[in-house]
Structure 1
Amino acid sequence: MKKTFIPLVLTVLIGLVGCMQQGSKYQVDQVYNGFKLIEKRFVKEVNAECLYFMHEKSGARLFKVAADDPNKLFNIAFKTVPEHDYGTPHIMEHSVLNGSTNFPVKSPFDVLTKGSLNTFLNAMTGSDITTYPVASMNDKDYFNLMHVYLDAVFNTRIYDDPRILQQEGWHHEMDDVNGEVVYKGVVYNEMKGAFSSPTRELDYQASKILFPDNTYGVSSGGYPTEIPKLTYEYFINFHKKFYHPSNSYILLYGDANLDKEMAFINEQYLINYDKSDKKVEIPLQKPFDAMKVAEKSYPVPVGADTEDKSYLSLNFVIGQSTDVDLCLAFNVITEALVEHESAPVRLALQEAGIGKDVSCYFAESKQNIMEIQVQNANPEDQARFKEVVFSTIKKVISEGFDKETLEGIINRMEFRMREGDTPQKGIMIAFSNYQGWFFADDPFLGLEYEAPLAHVKESLTSNMLEELCQKHILDNPHALLITLKPEPGLQDKIDAKVNQELADYKASLAIDDKQKLVDDTKALIAYQKEEDSPEALATIPMLTLADISPEVEWYPIEEKQAESVPVLHYNEFSSNILYSKLYFDLSALPQDLIPYAKLQTALLGKLNTASYTYGELDNQLNIHTGGFHTSLNNYIEENNIHQMTPKYAVTAKATEAKSEKMFELITEILTTTKYDDEERLKSLLTRHQAGTESYIKNRGINVALTRLGSYYSPAGVYNEMTSGLDYYQFITELTDNYDANKEEIIEKLQMTAELLFNRNNLTAAVTCSEANYPAFINGLEGFTAQLSDMPLKQASWKFEPVAKNEGLKSSSKVQYVVKGYNFKELGYDYNGKMRVLNQILSRDYLQTQIRVVGGAYGGFSGFSATGNVYFASYRDPNLTETLENYDATPDFLNEFSADDTEMTRFIIGTISRLDGPMTVSQKGNTAFSRYFSKTSLEELKAERTAILSTSAEDIKGMNKMVNDVLTKDIYCVYGSDTKIEENKDIFNSIMQVVK
C-alpha cells in the first residue's frame, strides 16, 4: 500500500475541559476493566487527553484519544505479514466480515451498510496492516458497530464455511461439464482491475526487487495470477497466526464513555483469551551493495502505439518510519526536489526532454521508500534519467536548496497540520499513529508533530536537508532504477497461460469430478442468492426510526454586497481562517471556449505573471495561503437538467492576517498571467495531457459514467467536454499539434480570461466568522477594483445528446458496465423515496447479483433529484451478463417485499448517507452549492419526510419507472479490448480510449 501522509494529526477545535475530565480519573499502573494504564498525557496537537492501556489477560493494546468529538471511532488493527502474492491478508479482510458466531448472517458488513447511521464503515489492507475502522455520531449505533466488528475478527465463520473463501477470494467455476472452467472471486477480480493500472504494476515490480527477503516485497492485496494458489489450509492458519488479541491494536477516539467502552471490549471478547508469547516481527531488508537496475513490461493492446508510453522510476529505501524527524524532512525534500513548480529535478528533466510529467512521493512503512517517477517516457531514456536526477541533486547539495522555497513548503505543511480540515479526525489519528505503535510501541509518536516540525524548520538556517540528500539518495546503495515499458499483446500471453492452466485443470478431472464442479458451482450460486433468515438478521443490532432526527441540517447564507458584487457569507467560527470562493459565470464564454476554461484551471498559478516567475509565485502562495486552486463547477437549477448554472470557481484560504496578501496574489494570477510564454505553456500542456491520459487509463468507471451522461443529458454533454473522453481528445490534439497552433491556443486562453474575470460576472463567497468578515471584504474590494467591468452578454450554448452505446476498448483486465437514462424525460417526478430505492438496489439486489454472484468488485446504482439514473458495475469480469442483471431489476422490484424491520434498516442506511459530519469549510461549500442550484430548505424537509415514510409498497410501486428507464437501452462499457470485441454486436460503435 503506497501511503504518502505526514505522521501527524491536525489540531481539533474541541472543548478542553470535557476531554480533560474524561482522562483525569485514570491513574498510571492501575487496572480498569482488565486494562492496565501504561501511560497518559495531554497531546496538544490533537487537543485531547490520550491514554495507553494494555489488557492484562489477552495482551491487547488499547489507545484512547478522549476528544470532545461526537464522531466517535472504533478501530481494531492487526500487524499482518504476508509471505506470498496470494493476497491472503486482503482476502481475510473481506472474509471475516462475512458472518460470525454472534451474527450468523452471510455478510454483517452489508447489513450494516444497509441500515446503520455510521459515518465511516470500512476495512483496509496495507503492506503490514489489516485494519477495521467504524465511526458514528450516535452512541447506540457506535457500540453496535463495535460489537459486530469485534465479533467478525475474533469469531469469524471462515473455520466452518469454506464458501466464504471461495466467494471473496477465488474458486473454479464451470456451468456445464462441456463448458470452460474459469476463475471467479471478488478479490481476484478486484486485483485484476487494480493491476490494469501500469503504476500499480510498477509499484509491485519495484517492491519485489527492493525487498526480496521480507514482507514488503510481496503484494498484500494479491497478484492476480498468484491468488489461485491460496489454499484453504494456509488461509485458516493465517487467521490463527495474526488475529489474536496479543497482535491487536485498538484505537478509540471521541466522546464515548471510556469505562463503558473498556467494559464492553473486556467482558464480551478479550476476557476469553490468554496472552500469546508469539510476537509478530518484520525483519529489516538487508541493504544492497549497489543500486539495482531492471526493466519490466505492462500490457497494451496489439497494435497500440508504444512511443512515449514507458515509466522510469528511481527508488530509495530511506530509514524507518519511527524516525519522525527523518520522515517529515523527506516530505519537505520530495516537494523541494520534484513537486514544487520550479523544483530543480522537475526543471532538469523537462529541459532534457525526458517524459511528460514527473512525480515524487515518500511512503512511510517500517522501511520508508522515496520514489521519483517519470511517465510517458521511453526505455532508452533510462540511463539519462538517472544521470539527470543525480547530477541535479549533486548541484542542489553543492549550491543549497532555495530557502524561500523551503519556507513556503514548510509553511503550507504547518497550515495543514494546524487547520484540521477533515470531519474524520479519528481516521486521521488511526493512520498517523500506527507506524509508531507497531514498530516502536509508542502510539503517541505519530501524533506529536511540534518537535519534528521545529526540527525541520532548522533547515531554513542550515544544510540539514542537503546532508540528508547526500546520505540517503546519492550515497545510498539500497536503491533501484527500473523501467516499465508497454508490451503489445502481453495480456494475450497472460490470458493464454491462465486459460491453459484452467484447461489442464479441467483435463485432470474425471467425469465425476467435472460433474461435482458443476454441482458445486450451482450450489455456491444458490448459496450466494439465498437470503438470510429473519432470525439471523435479527441478531444484527439496529436503531429505530425514533433514533433519527427528523430535522434537516441547514447552513444559512447571508446575502450581502461589496462594491456592487454579490457576496455570500456562511457565518461560523473557522479558527481565523477565511475560506474564500470566487465564482465567475462560465456562460460568459462562447461554447468553443468551454474546454479552454477547463484547460485554464490546470494552468493558473503555474505560469509567470507580471510580478513573479512561476517558481516565485508558487513560493508566495505557499508562504501566504493555505491553498489556491481553480475548478469548473456545474450546478443544476431546480433539479432541471436543461437549466445549468456553470461556474468557474477560484478557491483560496488564508488566515485573517494574510487576507490582503491572498487577494493580492489572486489578483496577480487572474489579471496578469502570461499565457504567451510558449515554452512554459508547452511544458504545462504536455504535463496536463499526461495526467489526463493517466486518469483515462485508471478511472474506467468515471470515464464510462461521464460518457453515459452525454448520451441523454445536456449537462452530460458539458461534463464530457470538460472532464471526459472528449476533453482528453481535445487536450491530446492541442499537445500533439502545439507548435503549429500555439498562437491560436494562446489567443483563446487570453480571450477566456478576458471574458471570465469580470466584475459583472462575479459572485464572491466566504466561510468565516462575523469577526473575520471585514478582513475578507477589505481584500475583496481591492481585488474587484482591478477587474474589468465591461458589459457582458450571456453566450448561447447548444448541447445535443446522442445515445452512442459505445464499447470503450482499453488495456483494462475487467469491465465497467454502465446503463441509465433520465426519468424526468419520461414524465416522472422525483421523490425522496427514490433514495431508499437506490439503497435497496445498491445494497441488496446489485450487491448480490453483480458482486457476490457475478464476482465483480462492486455493483451499485444512482437516482438523482435531477432525474438521472445509472446502474454501474466496478471491476467486473462480465459484460452482457451484467446488462441482463440490470434489465432484470423490474422483476426484482415486482417481487419485492420487506417487513417493517427490514424497511427501517433500509431507511436508516439511507439517512446515514445524508447525515455525515462536515468541517466548517464543507458546510460553507454545501451552502453555496444549494444557493446556486436553488435548493430550498422546504425541498430538503420534504425529501427527508418522504425517506422516513417509505414503505415496501412504495418501492414496489417504482417498478414501472425503473423499467421505462432501462428499456431506453442506453449503455456504455469501458473494458478489455478482448471482451469488447467478443461482444461487438451489442455496440453502435467501438473506440480505443488511448491509442
Structure 2
Amino acid sequence: MSSKAPVAATSPPAPVVDAVPQELLSRFRVVKREFLKEHAAWAVLLEHAATGAQLVSIEAPSAGGGDEKVFGIAFPTEPSDSTGVAHILEHSVLCGSERYPCKEPFAELLRSSQQTFLNAMTYPDRTVYPVASLNEQDFRNLVGVYLDAVFRPRLSPWTLMQEGWRLEPSEEDKSRFKLSGVVYSEMKGVYSSADSLHAMACGQALFPGQSYGVSSGGDPAAIPSLSYADFVGFHRRNYQPSKARLFFWGDDDVAERLRVVDEYLTLGNIHDEEAHANGAGDPLPSGWKDPQSLTSWWPPGGARTGEATAYSPASPSDVVDEASAAAAAAAAPWTEPRTIRVEYPAAVSAEDDAGADAAADAASAAAEAAGEDSSGHFVTVCWALPDGGVGPGDADYVSDADRLGLQLVSALLLGTRTAPLHKALVDSAMGTAVTGGGLATHLRQGVFEAGLKGVWPAAVGAGPEDDQDAAVQAAVQSLVMDTLAATAAAGFDADHVEAELNTLEFAVREFGAGGTPKGLSLFLGAAGSWIYGRDPIDEMKFEDALAELRGRVEADAKGYLSGLMQRFLLDNKHRVTVHSAPSRTLSARLNSAEEAGVASVVSGMTPEDQAVAAEAAAALSRRQATPDTEQALASVPVLTRDALRRDAVIVPREERLLSLGDAGRCQLLAHALPGTNGIAHVAVSLDLGARLPAHLVQWLPLFAQLLTTTGSATRDDVQMSHRIGAATGGVSASAHASPVPGRRDVARLSLTVGGKALNHRVGDLAAIMQELLLTAPLAARQDLLRSQVRESVAATESALLSAGHRHAMSVLGATLSFPGELAHVMGGLPQLRFLRQLRARLESKDAAVAAAAAAEAQEVMEAIRGMALAAAASDAAAPGGADSGALATVVAGEDAAAAAGDAVCAVLRALAEQAPAAGLPGSGAASPSGVVGVGHSVSASLSPMAAMGLAGGFAEAEAAAAAGEGPRRVAVLVPTSVSYVCEAGIGFASPGEGVLTEGPEAGGAPLAAPAESHVASSLLSLGHLWDSVRVQGNAYGAGAAVDAVGGSVSFWSYRDPRIGGTLRDYATSSTWLRAGTGGSDPDAVDRATISAVGGMDKPASPSDKGSQSTSRWLLGITDEQVQARRDAVLGASPQSAAELADAIDQARSGTDGSGHVCVVTGKDIARAEGIIGADGKAAPGWQVVDAFKGERA
C-alpha cells in the first residue's frame, strides 16, 4: 500500500500514516488523527517515543495545495536579555553543519534549489525554520539540510563574529576599531525606525521582567555583550529534540517524513562547546580571547527605555533543562494601569549641529510650536490579554469562538477608517496616523493596542507653560478609553457587525491565499500556541468556531460584543500607556556612547590584544573570501537540469471584445480557473495617459485613496464602508505607471478599481464599483481629505526608514525611464513633498488658504474623474501599450466567469454613458503636448517632475547624458544608523518599436533583456554580492536585478553599514561574472538555473495568476514568448553571465565609470563617507536631499 497522500475524494479515506511500516511507526505514538474539513486533508499528531518531540503530519492532496510541500520546525527560544542571542543563532545554524560542512548551506540552497520558500524567523518567544518546494526530491533535500542545521550546526567563534558581532579595524583608519556583524547591522536599522522603536517599547512595557520585556532581535547596545559561551549554551538548552515541534504538509511520502525525523531526533543536538569550536575548519589566532570584556561599557540605565536591562549570562555548566517545551508562565495580571515615557531619535537636518544639545533642543521646540517638523509624539494604549489556557478547565481559558470574537471586536473598532475607535482617533486631528492596529495574537498572550503618532502638544491644547508630555499622553489615553466606553455602552450598528463578520469569514477562508504557501500559513499560525501546549490541530480549524460566533452574534450582538470589550479591555487593569517622545539629540548621544565604549575597550587592551583582535578580523575576512572546497560544496544535495519541467505555466485566458453600445467597446480578459473557492475577482482599468496633464499626476494616488473611503451620493463614508464589508471581500483603487516595450520614453498610466466577492454577490460588487466611480464625493468632505493626507504623509515617511532601498531605486527609476519617473512622482520623494505642502495648506490657520486648497483639491478630483469616465467611453485597450482605452478583467471559477464578466462590463457601460462630452475642467485636454499620454514621447510632453518644479526627471537625465555630463549621485538623508545603497543604468539596448519578426521570441513584445539574464543576475546576487556585501560587508541584504522590459541593470543593498565599500563591490561585478570561479563556472550556472526556474514556478493564487496573465497581455507578451523565454532560461550557459557582465559595463559607462547612484542614509554616515562636509553642504558631484527638510544644493 502506497504511503503517498491521496488525491481529494468526496469522503475521506483512511490516513496514509496507517500504511507506514509498523517498525517505523512504532517509534512514534499517535496522539490524535483528524480529518480537517476546512482543508480537505488528514492531520495526524504524533509524539516521538524516544525524545517526546511532537510532529504534525498533514496529508494534503495535490488538488488542495498539497503539491507545494511544506516542512517547518519550531523551538521555544525565550531570551533573558537583549543580546539578540536567539536571533543571532537563527542566522548561525544555517552557516554549516555536521553533514553539510560548507560555509553557508542556506546560501547554497538559495543558489541551487527549486524552493518556493526558504527562510527562518525569530519571534520574541520562538524560532521557526520553514521550507517549501514543489519538487519532492528537492523538498527532501531541503528538509535534510534544515534538520542537520538546527540539531548539528557548526557554531564556531567565526560564526558568532560574522553573524553576530565583532571588533575590527576601521577601513578608513586602521588604528581605530569599530563594531561589525550581520545581525548588528540589521538591528541598527531596526533601531533607527521610530515605528519599530515604539512598537518594541509597547511590548516591553507590557511584560517587564519577562522574555517579552527584552529585545529578542537584539539591541545594538547589548549585542556586543554576547559571549561565545552563552551563544553555544543557548543552543544546547533550547534546541533539544524534546522541545522540537515539527510540521509537514503536502502530498509527499509520509513514511519518508517519519524516517528522517526519527533519524535526527535520535541523534540529538551537539552538546559539546569544544565540538562546535573544533568544527570551525580554521584555527583561531593565537591569544584570541572571548570578548566578554565588552560588557564593561554596557550603558547603565538603558539608553532607550529608561530602565536597566539585567544581563545574566548563563553558566556553561548549567544542567540541560529537560522540562516540557512550555516556557515561562504567563505574566501576572496587574492591579493598576501604568504609564511609561521613552525617547526615539527624531529627524535632524544635515546642517544641524548634533553636538550642540541646547541648540538642537531649541530647534525642536521651535519646530514643535510651529507644527512644521514631521517628527511627533507617539502615544499608544496597550493591553495584555489572558493567555487563554490550554483547555476549558483553565481559569483564563478563552474559547475558540471567543478568540474569533476578539478578532471581530478589533475589526469593529479599528478595521476600517469608519470604525468608531479609528474614526475618533483620526477625527481628533491630534496626530497624523493611528498606531497599534488592535488585536495581535502571535505571542502567548494576546495584546490589544491603539493610539496615535505624530502628536504635537499644540494639537492637544497644551501651551508652553503646561506639562506638555503629560498633556499629550493624557489626551490620547482619554480619547481611547472614552471611545471604548461609549462604544461598549451603545453597541455597534447591525450593518457594521454584519460587514465585519463577513470580512472575518473571508479572511479565515482565504487563509494562506496569495504568495504564502498554504501549509506554511498553517504552520506559522499554529506554532505560537503549540509551544505553549495548545493542540496544534485545533489551531487549524475554524468552521465550528465561526458557526458558534455567528450564533452568538445573531442571538445578542450587543451583549456579546460589548461583554468582550468590557472583560478584555475596559475592566482589564493590565494596561500601559506608552509615550515615545522625539529627541533631536538621542541619535548623536547613542552614536557617541558607542564610539566611546569601543574606544574605552580598545584603550584597555594591551597592544598584543589589539593585534590579536585585528588579526582575528583579518582572518575572518580571508575565510569569508576563500571559496568552499569542492568536497564541502558537494555535500549539499542539488537537483539536475533534467529534473526541471520544460513547459511554461500558461494561464488560460479568454479575450472578448464587447460592445458598450454607442459608448464604445470593452476589452474583457476572463480567467476561468480552479481553486477560487467560490470567490470572484473583478477589475476595471481606465487609461488616463492620453488625457491627464503632467501637473496632475501627483494627485492620482490621492484620488484613488479618496475614491473608496469617502462614500457616495447616497451613502456617507460609514454607510459605504458597511456596504462594502457586508457584500464583498473588499474594494480597492490604485494608480499605476506601466512600461511600453521598446520605448523608455512612453508609459501607460492607468487607474484600476476592483474587488472580490462570493460568486452570488458579484452583482453587488459591480454596483458598488459603479456607485463609487460615478458619485464618490472625493475631496468634497474636507475632514476626510485632511485625515487622508495626514495618514499618507505618515505612511510615506515610515516607508523611507523601513524600506530605504525602495525609495533609492525609485529615485534611480525616474532617471532611467518615463514610467519610472511617473512611479516616482506618485510614490517617491516628490509625492511626499506634494502631500506635505498640501497638508500645510489644508491645515493653515488662515481660513482663506485652507479653503482655497480644499477647493483646488475638489476641482482636480472631479477633473480626474471626468478623464476616467472619458477613458471608459474610448475604444477598448489593446495589448502592447500602443493604445489607450478601457480594460475589464475577471478571475472566477468556470461556473461564474461569464456572469462576472457581464457584471464588470456593465460597470464600464455605465461609466461610458456618463462621460463628459466636451473638454474637462482643468484637464489640459486641449493641449496634447501637456499630457502624459501613451503614444506621446516624454520629449514632446511636460515632465511630471518639471511640472512640480523639481529636477531629476527622465528627460533631464537624457539631456545631461547627451551633453556628456556624468551620472547622477543622490544622497537622501533620513534619521538612520545604516544605509541603503543603490546603483543603476541601462545595460541592454531596446530592440526598438514594434513586434519582433525573428528570433526565438518572434511575434512577441520587444523586450530589452534576454531571459537568460535572469539566471545571471541570480548568480551574481547569491554569489559575488552575497559574499562581498552581505557576508564580508555585513549588510543585511544585497542583490542585482535586470528589468526585462526597459533593459536596466540595478544593484541594491539593505541595512548596510557601508557606502563606498559597497559601491566598490558593485564595480567588480562584471569582472566576477567573467571569472572562472564566478559566472563562467558551468556548475555555478547550472545551480543558478535551477534556482531561477524555481522562482518562475512559485505557486500563485487564482487572483495572482489572473494578474500575471493581464500584465503579460498589456505588455504584448504572447504564450509562445513565455515558452521561448523559459527555454532560454533552461539553456543558460556561462555565456549568459558574460552577456550580463557586458550589460553591467554598459550600465556603468558614465563619465566617472559608474551608473546612477542613490543612497538613503543618515547625516553622520554621509559626513563620514565624504558625501557632505562639516558645513552640511553637498560634496562635489553629489546632490543631497534631506527627506524631512527639503532639497539642498
TM score, norm. by length of structure 2: 0.80
Match of 1:481 among 553, 558, 577: 577
> 2:900 corresponds to which residue?
776
Q: Which structure: larger Rg?
A: 2
Q: 1:769 to 1:325 in 2, by over 3 A?
A: closer
Distance 1:97 1:17 in 2: 42
Structure 2 CA distance for partners of 1:750 and 1:285, relative to 1, 3 Å: same
Q: Look up the equivalent residue of 1:660 and give its one-letter code.
A: G
CA–CA separation in structure 2 for the residues paired with 1:136 and 1:405? 41
Instruction: State the distance in 2 between where 1:520 and 1:56 align.
Output: 45
Identity %: 25
Residues 133 and 24 (structure 1), Cα distance of their counterparts in 2 relative to 1, 3 Å cut: closer
In the aligned structure 1, how far is the partner of 2:1061 from the partner of 2:581?
34
Contact 1:30 1:37 in 2 (8 A): no
Gaps of 5+ in 2: 271-319, 353-362, 390-397, 457-468, 843-849, 874-884, 919-924, 944-952, 958-966, 992-1006, 1172-1178
Cross-structure match for 1:816: 980
Q: 1:986 to 1:256 in 2, by over 3 A?
A: farther
Q: Displacement, 1:952?
A: 2.3
**1:38·1:53 contact (CA, 8 Å) conserved in 2?**
yes
Q: Shift of residue 376 of structure 1?
A: 1.0
Structure 2 residue matching 1:20: 3-state secondary structure: coil
The residue aligned with 1:694 is 798
Residues 352 and 951 of structure 1, relative CA distance in 2, 3 Å threshold: closer
Corresponding position of 1:284: 330
The match for 1:615 is 718
Query: How far off is 1:779 after superposition?
Result: 2.1
Q: CA deviation at 1:407?
A: 1.1
Structure 2 counterparts to residues 173-252 of structure 1, below 5 A: 173-174=168-169, 179-252=175-248
Structure 1 residues 527-581: Cα deviation after superposition (integer angstroms, max 9, x where no partner):
1111001111001001000000121111132111333311111121323321101
Q: Bigger shift: 141-150 or 195-204?
A: 195-204
Partners of 2:826 and 2:1104 lie apart in 1 by 24
- The letter of the residue matching 1:172 is L
Residue aligning to 1:426: 519
Q: d(CA) in 1 for partners of 2:6 and 2:901?
A: 25
For 1:273 and 1:892, how far apart are their aligned partners in 2? 38
| Aligned counterpart in structure 2 of residue 747 of structure 1, from 855, 859, 862 | 859
Instruction: Report the Cα offset of residue 637 of structure 1.
Output: 2.7
More displaced 10-residue stretch of structure 1: 495-504 or 890-899: 890-899
Asked if 1:955 is matched to 2:1031, the reply is: no
Tell me the amino acid that sits aligned with residue 851 of structure 1.
R
* Structure 1 stretch displaced more, 592-601 or 44-53: 592-601
Alpha carbons 1:598, 1:631 under 8 Å: kept: yes
> Per the alignment, do residues 918 and 20 of structure 1 end up closer, same or farther by CA in structure 2, a change over 3 Å counting?
farther
1:443 correspondence with 2:555: no
In structure 1, the partner of 2:694 is: 591
2:449 to 360, 364, 371: 371
Q: Displacement, 1:643?
A: 3.6
1:44 aligns to 2:56 (yes or no): no
What secondary structure, in the 3-state scheme, does the structure 1 residue paired with 2:417 have? Answer: coil
Deviations 1:207-251 (A, max 9, x none): 222111211111111111111111000011100001111000000
For the 8 Å contact 2:804–2:980, the answer to whether it is kept is yes
Residue equivalent to 1:299: 345
Task: Give yes or no for contact 1:19–1:67 (8 Å, CA) kept in 2.
Answer: no
The answer to whether the aligner puts 1:497 opposite 2:556 as a matched pair is no
Amino acid at match of 1:993: A
TM-score by length of 1: 0.95
Residue 58 of structure 1 corresponds to 51
Please state how far the C-alpha of 1:609 moved relative to its aligned partner: 0.9
Query: 2:864 matched to 1:868?
Result: no
Q: 1:904 to 1:33 in 2, by over 3 A?
A: farther
Q: How far apart are the structure 2 equivalents of 1:986 and 1:551?
A: 53
RMSD, aligned CA: 2.4
Please report how far the alpha carbon of residue 455 of structure 1 lies from its aligned counterpart in structure 2 after TM superposition: 3.3
The alpha-carbon distance between structure 1 residues 345 and 13, as it changes in their structure 2 partners (threshold 3 A), is farther
Could you say if the C-alpha distance between residues 186 and 667 of structure 1 is closer, same or farther in structure 2, counting changes exceeding 3 Å? same
Cα offset for 1:184?
A: 0.5
Q: Which residue of 1 aligns with 2:387?
A: 320
630-639 or 550-559: bigger deviation: 630-639
Instruction: Give the equivalent residue in structure 2 for 1:99.
Output: 96
Matched, 1:567 2:668: yes
Contact 1:193 1:875 (8 Å CA) reproduced: yes
Please say which of residues 948-957 and 386-395 is displaced more in the overlay.
Answer: 948-957
Change in 2 beyond 3 A, CA 1:957/1:698: closer
> Given the alignment, which residue of 744, 766, 770 partners 2:890?
766
Following TM superposition, by how much is the alpha carbon of 1:624 offset from its aligned partner in structure 2, in angstroms? 0.5
Structure 2 counterpart of 1:453: 546
Give the Å deviation of 1:460: 4.2
Q: What is residue 869 of structure 2 aligned with on the other side?
A: 757
Counterparts of residues 757-906 of structure 1 (less than 5 Å): 757-758=869-870, 759-760=872-873, 761-787=885-911, 788-790=914-916, 795-797=931-933, 798=938, 799=943, 800-801=953-954, 802=957, 804-825=968-989, 829-866=1008-1045, 867-897=1047-1077, 898-906=1080-1088
Local SS of the residue matching 1:570: strand
Amino acid in the other structure paired with 2:533: A
Instruction: Say whether the 8 Å CA contact 2:805–2:980 is kept in structure 1.
Output: yes
Aligned pairs for 1:259-278 within 5 A: 259-270=255-266, 277-278=322-323
User: Is 1:530 aligned to residue 626 of structure 2?
Assistant: yes
- 2:1116 aligned residue (934, 939, 942): 934
Letter in 2 for 1:557: R
Q: Look up the SS of the partner of 2:521 in the other structure.
A: helix
**CA distance change for structure 1 residues 19 and 461 in 2, over 3 Å: closer, same or farther?**
closer
The answer to whether the 8 Å contact 2:1019/2:1084 transfers is: no
Tell me if the contact between 1:196 and 1:813 (Cα under 8 Å) persists in the aligned partners. yes
What secondary structure does 1:856 align onto? Answer: coil
Q: In the TM superposition, what is the alpha-carbon distance from 1:656 to its structure 2 partner?
A: 1.7
Equivalent in the alignment of 2:16: 23
- Matched residue count: 982
Q: Which has the higher contact order (CA 8 A, sep 6+)?
A: 1
Shift of 1:909: 1.1
Whether 1:117 and 2:219 are equivalent positions in the alignment is no
Q: Give the drift of 1:644.
A: 2.1
SS at 2:731 equivalent? strand
- CA displacement at 1:599 relative to structure 2: 1.1
Between 1:246-255 and 1:328-337, the stretch displaced more is 328-337
Cross-structure match for 2:310? none
User: Where does residue 908 of structure 1 map in the other structure?
Assistant: 1090
- Structure 1: any 5+ residue segments left out of the alignment? 1-11
More displaced, 844-853 or 882-891?
Answer: 882-891
Q: 1: distance between equivalents of 2:900 and 2:259?
A: 50
Conserved 8 A contact 2:684-2:904 = no
Q: 2: CA distance between counterparts of 1:596 and 1:957?
A: 41
Indicate the larger mover: 554-563 or 873-882. 554-563
**CA offsets per residue over residues 902-940 of structure 1, 9 Å max, x none?**
321111111111110111111111100100011122332
Alignment partner, residue 660 of structure 1:
763
**What amino acid is aligned across from residue 51 of structure 2 in structure 1?**
S
Match of 1:381 in 2: 472
Counterparts of 1:668-687 in structure 2 under 5 Å? 668-675=771-778, 676-687=780-791
Farther-moved stretch of structure 1 (19-28 vs 488-497): 19-28
Which of 1134, 1149, 1152 is the equivalent residue of 1:967? 1149
What secondary structure, in the 3-state scheme, does the structure 1 residue paired with 2:532 have? helix
- Structure 1 pair 522/466, CA: closer, same or farther in 2 (3 Å)? same
Q: Name the counterpart of 2:146.
A: 149
Give 1:30 deviation, angstroms: 10
Q: How far apart in 1 are the matches of 2:585 and 2:1118?
A: 55
Q: Which amino acid is the alignment partner of residue 885 of structure 1?
A: D
Partner letter of residue 1104 of structure 2? Q
